[in-house]
């Protein structure tokens, strides 16, 4: 087969790390036994990738925007829009979106519990009671997420997104009044403050909370928006690249981004997003999806968890999960699609958070210019033929190989 | 130690060069015996750096702007502002600044000597006589620098900086009339021309010049502004990076930039800026400063001189000075701070001026991803794990390692 018109982008979330003394100055990925990833490196082309730019610490959202070819500097204002899209809300360009908590306040509007006793039941009914208000001519759409989490969309004309949080981010202090950084955002702030006031009025007497009170549980008697962001006008994936794409990921935020780009979002039973996730279930879903789509993005969350927990052993196990996932893909997809393996950012154990260190990348498929790298790791891949590239390069590299990219010029 | 929250950026001014036949086709840095720099390369991560962009020939000012994370394309209009700040003038955003010479003109306003007999005494008194004029509503601030050099600030409303030089840059021709490239700059030109006229009037009868005449010396009987630039509005270093920085350099222009960024500028006795400079005095000052600051920039001027003089031997000796400086820092700072060694530009002997060739870079510190490079030089470093980065990447890379950079996204 001369070439393949399809590609799989496999992302080990937070996979990159730094040398760790206890691992003999290897990184968890370098120390882990990853025969499939190593064979992809050996048979393919390797390099280093800066998801956004050298040294820049990416979020999961900004990194995935960049990897999919959308400039986060021009499109990203906050997490709200992708959170809202991730729970299935119909987010439209220009919507001002917020993450929200159901919280507990006392009569004085002092926050007693930011998570309303980590409420897990009845939030759908509570959200439904808040959804669809109209305030000052703006529509307020509200939907529950998992546990105490929810999202708010404020939709209307002339609304800004430079709006401060109503959630004070600590307990024992009063609910904040939202404030706008400019005239348009002040208009949004007025809507948000009235929404918060009404949410307290409505939720305080809601049957779900009456039952919680009877059960000795803290009432979810207010909704507190934070993290304002305006939904960007993003060209859908298919319009931009001329092929359809699917997204098989475990994280709501990335699902939200994919929905936003009108990619098919496929939920996989057994994909928990935890260290117990069923990586082969993810792999089977990818194999199934690449039959119907030219492009499939798959993200395995587990490596990121080991980094956040400063647990190199856990991170090595997660690398092995990624290895099995990649091995299954290679075995079942073969030359039918290019396979690119990389990460959305580093989450070094020593940092316990995302860092700006570059991540390894390898690509295999028909016609790829192989190099001398024989192991998939941060430092082996630094010797590869791809050199040091950026997230914004990925889709160009893939669509070039897939032969679906239009020529620039004549 | 897991990581360090501090960083030292050590710059060998003009250090980069090209292979020289007389050195066995090595560069001066490659030919010099630099055991400390080589051990930093061996124990750290190396690469090539384009201070601005591949092939672009930087000035010292634009290079240092870029290395400190400020885009010179957006902020730099001329050398004037940093020259003025470098001699301790209170430069403010929007000021139109000029470098000036005290010169000698005859009665016909023809320039007899651009440097007024390389005047070295009495310039403070002369400058004082010109400082503080008000012309057309604009304030004219004037201060002497070394020898025949000085700076002029024109401060006022609606002034442009596209102003041609009054200094004709050659002798035997008349003083030029400044001209403005647009209406606002024309307004500045009117001020400058009147300033030059008055400077001649005032200086001609100044006691310093009467004494010079009695001594048979050429009078410094006019001040000639050139190199107009508008002082940019630059975010101070601490506001941008959230940590304080100090600057230990030998060149006034770079001191000016650092003052402009409100970094602490530390003068070091024995640091002459020449080939006789006391590099260990610089090193001790850095060790002292890094106790009080999270970031210290140190520039050793000597390598640049060898390049400008087309003197490979002198440049090799300067590389050894940099080596001793780096060795002292490594010995006395150790893992307490990241140490990054690089250059602000190449000054190849054969060019005798700044060039656009990339420069070597090495970084050492806790958690840095080591590579296989074992020598600090232009070509050895080209094999390093950093690959080829830009000046604008440096502060992102350092603040990432120092764990003081905010995450972009969620």
CA A114 to chain B, closest CA, distance in angstroms equals: 20
Evaluate whether residue A342 is within a structural domain.
Answer: yes
The last residue of one of the domains, among A199, A230, A261, is A230
pLDDT digits (tens, 9 = 90+) for A140-181: 999 999 889 999 999 999 999 999 999 999 999 999 999 999
Residue B148: per-residue pLDDT: 93
- CA dist B49 and B53 (Å) reads 9
Report the complex ipTM.
Answer: 0.89
Least confident of A69-83, A281-295, A310-324, B170-184: A69-83
Which pTM does this prediction carry?
Answer: 0.91
- CA dist A70 and A87 (Å) reads 21
Which of A18, A351, A356 faces B369 most closely, judged by CB atoms? A18
SS3 A261: coil
On whether both A129 and A197 belong to a single domain, the answer is yes
On whether both B226 and B90 belong to a single domain, the answer is yes
Does A380 lie at the interface with B, CB-CB under 8 angstroms? no
SS3 B65: helix
Residue B4: per-residue pLDDT: 81
Overall average pLDDT of the A352-364 stretch = 98
Reference B84, options B220, B231, B201; nearest CA is B231
Minimum CA–CA partner of A51 in chain B: B408
Full domain range(s) for residue B30? 7-75+235-401
Evaluate whether residue A407 is within a structural domain.
Answer: no
Q: Which residues neighbour A129 within 8 Å (Cβ) at sequence distance 6 or greater?
A: A202, A203, A206
Does B2 lie at the interface with A, CB-CB under 8 angstroms? yes
Which of B388, B403, B407 faces A59 most closely, judged by CB atoms? B407
On whether both B120 and B184 belong to a single domain, the answer is yes
Evaluate whether residue B408 is within a structural domain.
Answer: no
Residue A283 buriedness (CB in 10 A; 0-12 / 13-18 / 19+): buried
On whether both B190 and B209 belong to a single domain, the answer is yes
On whether both B289 and B215 belong to a single domain, the answer is no
Evaluate whether residue A63 is within a structural domain.
Answer: yes
Residue B273: per-residue pLDDT: 94
Evaluate whether residue B1 is within a structural domain.
Answer: no
- CATH number for the domain that contains residue B59: 3.40.720.10
- B contact test, residue of A13, A23, A356 with most B CBs within 10 A: A356
On whether both B243 and B381 belong to a single domain, the answer is yes
Evaluate whether residue A410 is within a structural domain.
Answer: no
On whether both B150 and B63 belong to a single domain, the answer is no
Evaluate whether residue B298 is within a structural domain.
Answer: yes
Does A353 lie at the interface with B, CB-CB under 8 angstroms? yes
- Report the phi/psi class of residue B230: left, alpha or beta, with left for phi > 0 and alpha for psi in -120 to 50: beta
Q: With a cut of 70, list the residues of chain B below it in pLDDT.
A: 1-3
Evaluate whether residue B407 is within a structural domain.
Answer: no
Count up the domains in chain A and report the number. 2
pLDDT digits (tens, 9 = 90+) for A318-357: 999 999 999 999 999 999 999 999 999 999 999 999 999 9
The last residue of one of the domains, among A211, A230, A249, is A230
On whether both A331 and A267 belong to a single domain, the answer is yes
On whether both A90 and A162 belong to a single domain, the answer is yes
Q: Contacts of residue A76 in chain B, CB cutoff 8 Å?
A: 408-409
Q: Are residues A127 and A107 in contact, defined by beta-carbon separation less than 8 angstroms?
A: no
Which of A48, A57, A357 faces B408 most closely, judged by CB atoms? A57
Residue B1: per-residue pLDDT: 45
Instruction: Tell me the average pLDDT of chain A.
Output: 96
Residues 72 through 111 of chain B touching chain A, CB cutoff 8 Å: none
Residue A2: per-residue pLDDT: 61
Q: Are residues B14 and B303 in contact, defined by beta-carbon separation less than 8 angstroms?
A: yes
Does A54 lie at the interface with B, CB-CB under 8 angstroms? yes
On whether both A225 and A239 belong to a single domain, the answer is no
The last residue of one of the domains, among A178, A203, A230, is A230
On whether both A280 and A381 belong to a single domain, the answer is yes
Does A355 lie at the interface with B, CB-CB under 8 angstroms? yes
On whether both B59 and B101 belong to a single domain, the answer is no
Asked whether residue A1 carries a pLDDT value surpassing 70, the answer given is: no
Band of pLDDT at residue A120, cut at 50, 70 and 90: confident
Does B57 lie at the interface with A, CB-CB under 8 angstroms? no
């Amino acid at each position: 087969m001369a070439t393949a018109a399809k590609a799989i982008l496999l992302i080990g979330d937070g996979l990159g790390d730094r040398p760790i003394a206890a691992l003999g100055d290897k990184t968890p990925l370098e120390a882990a036994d990853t025969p499939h990833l190593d064979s992809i490196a050996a048979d393919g082309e390797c390099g280093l990738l800066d998801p956004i730019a050298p040294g820049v610490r990416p979020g999961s959202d900004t990194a995935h925007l960049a990897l999919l070819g959308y400039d986060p500097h021009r499109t990203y204002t906050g997490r709200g829009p992708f959170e809202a899209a991730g729970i299935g809300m119909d987010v439209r360009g220009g919507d001002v979106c917020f993450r929200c908590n159901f919280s507990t306040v006392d009569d004085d509007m002092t926050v007693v519990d930011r998570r309303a006793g980590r409420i897990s039941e009845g939030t759908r009914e509570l959200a439904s009671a808040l959804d669809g208000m109209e305030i000052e001519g703006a529509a307020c759409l509200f939907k529950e997420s998992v546990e105490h989490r929810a999202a708010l969309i404020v939709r209307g004309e002339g609304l800004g997104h430079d709006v401060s949080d109503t959630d004070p981010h600590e307990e024992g202090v009063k609910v904040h009044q939202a404030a706008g950084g400019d005239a348009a955002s002040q208009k949004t702030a007025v809507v948000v403050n009235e929404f918060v006031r009404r949410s307290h009025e409505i939720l305080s007497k809601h049957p779900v909370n009456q039952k919680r009170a009877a059960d000795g549980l803290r009432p979810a008697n207010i909704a507190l928006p934070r993290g304002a962001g305006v939904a960007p006008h993003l060209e859908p994936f298919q319009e931009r690249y001329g092929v359809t794409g699917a997204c098989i990921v475990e994280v709501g935020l990335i699902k939200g981004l994919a929905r936003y780009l009108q990619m098919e979002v496929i939920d996989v039973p057994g994909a928990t997003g935890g260290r117990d996730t069923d990586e082969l279930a993810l792999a089977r879903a990818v194999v199934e999806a690449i039959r119907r789509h030219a492009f499939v993005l798959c993200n395995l969350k587990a490596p990121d968890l080991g980094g956040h927990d400063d647990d190199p052993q856990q991170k090595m196990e997660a690398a092995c999960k990624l290895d099995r996932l990649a091995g299954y893909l290679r075995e079942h997809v073969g030359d039918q699609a290019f396979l690119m393996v990389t990460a959305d950012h580093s989450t070094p154990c020593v940092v316990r958070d995302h860092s700006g260190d570059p991540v390894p990348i390898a690509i295999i498929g028909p016609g790829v210019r192989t190099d001398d790298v024989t192991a998939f790791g941060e430092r082996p891949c630094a010797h590869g033929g791809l050199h040091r590239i950026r997230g914004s390069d990925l889709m160009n590299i893939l669509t070039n190989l897939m032969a679906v990219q239009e020529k620039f010029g004549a």
